[in-house]
Chain A
Amino acid sequence: MKVIVAVKRVVDYNVKIRVKADKTGVELSNVKMSMNPFDEIGVEEAVRLKEAGVASEVVAVSIGPAQAQETIRTALAMGADRGILIKTDEEVQPLAVAKLLKAVVEAEAPQIVILGKQAIDDDSNQTGQMLAALLGWAQGTFASKVALGDGKATVTREVDGGLQTVELKLPAVVTTDLRLNEPRYASLPNIMKAKKKPIDEKTPADLGVDIAPRLKTLKVEEPPKRQAGRKVASVEELVQALKNEAGVI
């Protein structure tokens, strides 16, 4: 069975984000970029499926500028077999990403597509759901456990009230939550092997997808500075403060 994993190049989670002076977005020049951590969990899950003999091939797909190739290389170093880069310097919003992935899925015919539940840059949490809808496939989002059976997948989902287990008919879309697995670090031999694995390059036009943005960003601002806290002397004072000053109880 073939598995496709989507990987996005985002600002590294350790970087202190700064808003651009003109408020059009965040500063990306000279900033360390890495694979979206949820996608890393997706790659790990796919590679584990392959190691367990369930998956036969793992294909990592990324959409973005030429440097997104490095993100694909990271997936290849973790154990993916080959990559597809859909190269564009334009802004690609979740709907366009879903459409592009749909075109890849139609060409590759995988049994399962694994995506991060969201990317840590825009936190949209839309692509997986949109992709499932466009394909008319089943979806198991926020997965904390995935078990593949004969023509079906059992996915444990992290929902507000606890854990929900759903059974999906394959092919299906799965999005990963934090606790699905702990991604491995690339080993040196695998970094060396990754160099030789093929990365196919396409453009949105090759796939016949219109990626024109449907949403317009008005402005990006820093969150308000957090005010210093205050110590209270007793529970009574705390309750009074919560009631009268904060107005939360």
Chain B
Amino acid sequence: MDFDFTPEQEAIREALARTCARYDLDYWRQRDSDGRFPEDFVADLARGGWLGIAMPREYGGAGLGVTEACIMMQAIAESGAGMSGVSAVHINIFGPNPIAVFGSEEQKRRFLPPLIAGRDRACFGVTEPDAGLDTSSIRTRAEWNGRRYLVHGQKVWTSTAQSANKITLLARTTPIERCASPYEGISLFYTDLDRAHAEVREIDKMGRKCVDSNQVFFDAMPVPKEDLIGEEGQGFRYLLHSLNPERALIGAEAVGIGRAALARAANYARERVVFGRPIGQNQAIQHPLAENWMELEAANLMVFKAAALYDRGRPCGAEANAAKYLAAEAAFKACTQAVMTHGGFGYAKEYHVERFLREVLIARIAPVSPQLILSFIAEKVLGLPKSY
């Protein structure tokens, strides 16, 4: 058992930390207020070749694993960019995974290089208002008219759809009544987001203002056959393939933002003097922060265990889910404690920790709720009856 990163992994973390240092806390606070997409930040990452970290080498990627992708996303979050920074590139890192795994040679050549170069921006159209976590009951349908598919329906929480030109889209190609299992008859597409047939409406939300989340309405959006990934009807299975890496990534991001909050809290506790002594000298202040550190680092071990298992081709469902749960809960506690440590100033935007607290909730909620993870562990690991 080796808990050290390789020198190459250290170099990745270091290079990213330095790249991100150009975008300081005031930059992200500004984006949080004006809502402008961090184009310059994303362009910088694309220039550095970072968007292709987990993409195959033949198509311009670095061919590294989920472990390295976790290191990358954690470094971005930890720099203070938080979810604003990671969400701006998150979909580029994990979204194309099904293309890389199940796409044809021609599709990989057509789709991956422009994604890695940052010329294409992809959004992810999976969740629906009436489906949520129950992905098999999605209603968006892609009907084959003899020449092409026409997509009808609605997606929600589609991030970056304001500026994306591509969409990874999950849609029913066979009505559920005609399928042996509800998980069949769903297909995965990677195609142009044709705004003549897709209306994108932004959702005003609690945090991460600079990375838009949207409702997308499709009205007969045409999709050519060449944009179907893998076999028709197998989309759900393909999607499952990228769920575990995504859980690990979210976990890594949560630990990153938790660490950023904790560092600021500890710093403030050292410097803020009340009653003639730094407040961090009081155990009521320092003990919760110590607890935050332990919880974050323990969660981080689970994150990298899940990533390592995945990279070795081993099952990692329990670990990936546990990693996302532990990391999100630990990070939420750390961000809350960071605000509390700052007292009144924690509520002021100038001190940045309130932004972390608003953003960290994303990691608790998405892409799966903590309750569903508990149900999953109870059922799959402990062998208890399925509860939902």
Contact = CB atoms under 8 A, between A and B. Distances in A.
A binds B: yes
A191 B8 CA distance: 7
Contacts of B15: 77, 185-188, 191
B56 to A, nearest CB: 13
A188 B19 contact: no
A188 B48 contact: yes
Given A73-B7, A185-B19, A191 B12 contact: yes
Nearest to B18: A185
A74 interface: yes
Given A185-B48, A187-B49, A188-B52, A73 B19 contact: no
Contacts of A190: 49
Interface string B5-35: 0011011101100110000000000000000
Interface residues of A, number: 16
B53 interface: yes
Contacts of A34: 14
21 contacts: A69-B7, A70-B10, A74-B11, A185-B15, A185-B18, A185-B19, A185-B48, A186-B11, A187-B48, A187-B49, A187-B50, A188-B12, A188-B15, A188-B48, A188-B52, A188-B62, A191-B8, A191-B11, A191-B15, A192-B8, A192-B62
Interface of A: 34, 69-70, 73-74, 77, 185-192, 194-195
B47 interface: yes
Contacts of A191: 8, 11-12, 15
Given A73-B11, A188-B49, A189-B62, 19 more contacts: A69-B7, A70-B7, A70-B10, A70-B11, A73-B7, A185-B15, A185-B19, A185-B48, A186-B15, A187-B47, A187-B48, A187-B50, A188-B12, A188-B52, A188-B53, A188-B62, A189-B49, A191-B15, A192-B62
A138 B326 CA distance: 61
Contacts of B18: 185
A69 to B, nearest CB: 8
B43 to A, nearest CB: 13
A72 to B, nearest CB: 11
A90 B12 CA distance: 30
A185 B62 CA distance: 17
B7 A188 contact: no
Contacts of B50: 187-188
Contacts of B12: 188, 191
Contacts of A69: 7
Nearest to A32: B14
Residue of B7, B11, B53 contacting most chain A CB atoms (<10 Å): B11
A99 B363 CA distance: 56
Residue of B8, B19, B52, B53 contacting most chain A CB atoms (<10 Å): B8
Contacts of A77: 11, 15
Residue of A34, A187, A188 contacting most chain B CB atoms (<10 Å): A188
A192 B49 CA distance: 11
A195 B49 CA distance: 16
Interface string B59-83: 0001000000000000000000000
Contacts of B62: 188-189, 192
A141 B244 CA distance: 55
A194 B49 CA distance: 14
A20 B11 CA distance: 28
Given A185-B15, A185-B19, A188-B62, A195 B48 contact: no
A186 B19 CA distance: 9
Nearest to A183: B18
Nearest to A34: B14
Contacts of A189: 49, 62
A85 to B, nearest CB: 13
Contacts of B11: 70, 73-74, 77, 186, 191, 194
Contacts of A192: 8, 62
A226 to B, nearest CB: 15
B361 to A, nearest CB: 30
A187 B118 CA distance: 15
Nearest to A69: B7
